[in-house]
Amino acid sequence: MLLLTPGPTAVPEKIRVAMSEPTIHHRTPEFSEILRQTREKLKKIFGLDEVLLLSSSGTGAMEACVTNFCHKKALSINAGKFGERFGKIVQAFGSELVELKYEWNTPAKVTDVENTLQQNSDIDALFIQICESAGGLRHPVEEIAKKAKEINPNIVVVADGITAVGVEKIDVSYIDVLISGSQKAFMLPPGLSMVGLSRFAIEKIESKSFGYYFNLATELKKQRQNTTAWTATTTLIIGLNAMLDEILDIGLDNFYEITKKRGKATLEALKSIGFEIYPKTPAIAMNTVYNKKADEIRKVLKDKYKVNIAGGQDHLKGNLFRINNMGIIKPYETIWVLNALELILDEMGEREFDGMAGKIFSEVYFKNDI
């Protein structure tokens, strides 16, 4: 089975092998060295002063950022499941919430954020997804972050980059906190999350520490000493260290360029066989198609062609399919999915098979400079 869901992503063999060694104790010089190396490499990828590793899925890091950075009132951008989640966490911890809601295919508007922040000077943190994975939507996070800081220099801008870090180069000039997780572009099993911190964010957590397990001040102190506050997810961190070597060997810019090219080639191929792209501003991390027969298509794709892609959630259940574009994916894997989708359209009597999807993918991927 080819796993091409936008999280979890397939774990490469080399990484699985790296994680198959006997468990080492987390309070040893051997593990401290691995943790040190891993954090150094992550800092390069995040472009921030610090990156903390937490033992949780991505939502744990989202919660840690809400509790450590929002003490009064939050502004949350909700254009899908993950944006909605930030709002729910804020409410669970009793802070006030202002939410800007958008349809799942529609990016947040800078002017909406501007107006909201002007009317609410007591908002201390802004939460936004870089890519809202529910609809494969890219928000204009960089412009929103810049505007937010212009209006309120004391606001903490928290960007959920779980489907953006390791996918594209993110301009962190105005981003204070950048969240990521193991099971997306880093191609690891789920269970490890990452929180990148700017100097401003570090000052914030050092001036007011909050919580216990997800206390970022405690974690920062420990991880600066090359250890973790609690038992580390040693196996996942060993896997991450190996995966970061893979990415850095390819070269970060090159890796982003390949990801972008493959995403664009997939998008054009899908359009060429008549599929409707759902988001108005598609993210690079995944290709999302709006189709009334999405679940039927996914079922045939899985049963007959042995490819697992993701569907839609909530009001879009049954109407979306999402193909992963994060991590190391061979072009022949993507071509295989596109070819299978084209065959399925033929079987359903929607469009006669002529190999168009594979042709367009190959042309864009191998022939064009984008």
Ligand X SMILES: *Cc1c(COP(=O)(O)O)cnc(C)c1O
Could you say which of 4, 51, 125, 162 contacts ligand X (CB under 6 A)?
A: 162
Nearest to 344 by CA among 279, 283, 295: 295
The backbone torsions φ and ψ at residue 144, rounded to the nearest 5 degrees and listed phi first, read -65, -45
Determine if 324 is a binding residue for ligand X (CB under 6 A): no
The b/e string for 133-150 (b: 16+ C-beta within 10 A; e otherwise) is: bbbbbbbbbbebbbbbbe
The yes or no reply on residue 107 touching ligand X (CB under 6 A) is: no
Sign, CA torsion 136/142/146/152: positive
In 105-233, alpha helices (H): 110-119, 141-151, 199-207, 216-224
Considering the complex, what minimum distance in angstroms separates the CB of residue 184 from ligand X? Answer: 6
Find the binder of ligand X among 116, 152, 163, 291 (CB under 6 A).
163
Nearer to ligand X, 126 or 344 (CB): 126
Identity of the amino acid at 252: L
Output the six-digit token pair for 219.
């974690």
Stretch that binds ligand X, among 141-149, 159-167, 247-255, 264-272 (CB under 6 A): 159-167
Q: By rule CB under 6 A, what string of x and - marks binding of each residue 7-26 to ligand X?
A: x-------------------
Residues 226-285 that bind ligand X (CB under 6 A): none
| Part in contact with ligand X (CB under 6 A); list of ranges 25-33, 35-43, 158-166, 332-340 | 158-166
Q: How far is the CB of 58 from ligand X (least distance, A)?
A: 3
Residue 166 engages ligand X in binding (rule: CB under 6 A): no
Query: CA torsion 94→95→96→97, rounded to 10°?
Result: -100
Part in contact with ligand X (CB under 6 A); list of ranges 54-62, 167-175, 334-342, 360-368: 54-62
Nearest approach in angstroms of CB 125 to ligand X is 16
Distance CA(290)–CA(170), nearest Å, equals: 27
Give CA–CA dist 332/236, Å, rounded.
28
Q: Candidates 28-36, 110-118, 156-164, 351-359 — which segment interacts with ligand X by CB under 6 A?
A: 156-164
* Interaction between residue 106 and ligand X (CB under 6 A): no
Contact pick of 5, 32, 37, 59 for ligand X (by CB under 6 A): 59
Q: Which is nearer to ligand X, 31 or 102 (CB)?
A: 102
- 112 burial class (0-12, 13-18, 19+ CB within 10 angstroms)? middle
Q: Which of residues 185-224 bind ligand X (CB under 6 A)?
A: 190
Closest distance between ligand X and the C-beta of residue 177, in Å? 13
DSSP string, 118-147: HH-TTEEEEEEESEETTTTEEP-HHHHHHH
Residues 124-143 that bind ligand X (CB under 6 A): 129, 133
For residue 55, state whether it binds ligand X (rule: CB under 6 A). Answer: no
**What size, in residues, is the chain?**
370
Minimum CB separation of residue 285 from ligand X in Å reads 8
Q: Of 79-98, which residues contact ligand X (CB under 6 A)?
A: 82
Choose among 9, 79, 58: nearest CA to 315. 79
Closest CA to 358 of 299, 231, 272: 272
Residue nearest to ligand X (CB): 58
Nearest CA-CA partner of 81 in 148, 163, 10, 4: 163
Residues at the interface with ligand X (CB under 6 A)? 7, 57-59, 82, 129, 133, 160, 162-163, 181, 190
